[in-house]
Amino acid sequence: MPNRPSKKPVDPWLKLVGDNLRTARKAAGLTQEKLAELADLAPRTIQKIEAGRITILITTLRRIRKVLGCPYQSLLGDK
């Protein structure tokens, strides 16, 4: 049986951004699917960002921020 590659550890900063996004999304009363629709993104992209599994592009962050109506700092900064 071949060895499956282990998952890469989550970067603490990406985890923080994902946690902040999840908090802001829930505060806005949006599902991942609805946020993705409004930001013109794939739902899987939102899922991966919230899980801290992908690096977020500034253009993606801008789309999300505009939908949520929150400042960049609330998504990027420490809680």
For residues 63 and 12, give the distance between their C-alpha atoms in angstroms, rounded to a whole number: 23
Confidence (pTM): 0.85
| pLDDT tens by residue, 3-62 | 665 577 789 999 999 999 999 999 999 999 999 999 999 999 999 999 999 999 999 999
CB 25 within 8 A of CB 35: yes
Task: Give pLDDT, residue 5.
Answer: 57
For residues 46 and 28, give the distance between their C-alpha atoms in angstroms, rounded to a whole number: 15
Task: Give pLDDT, residue 73.
Answer: 92
Task: Give pLDDT, residue 9.
Answer: 77
Task: Give pLDDT, residue 4.
Answer: 60
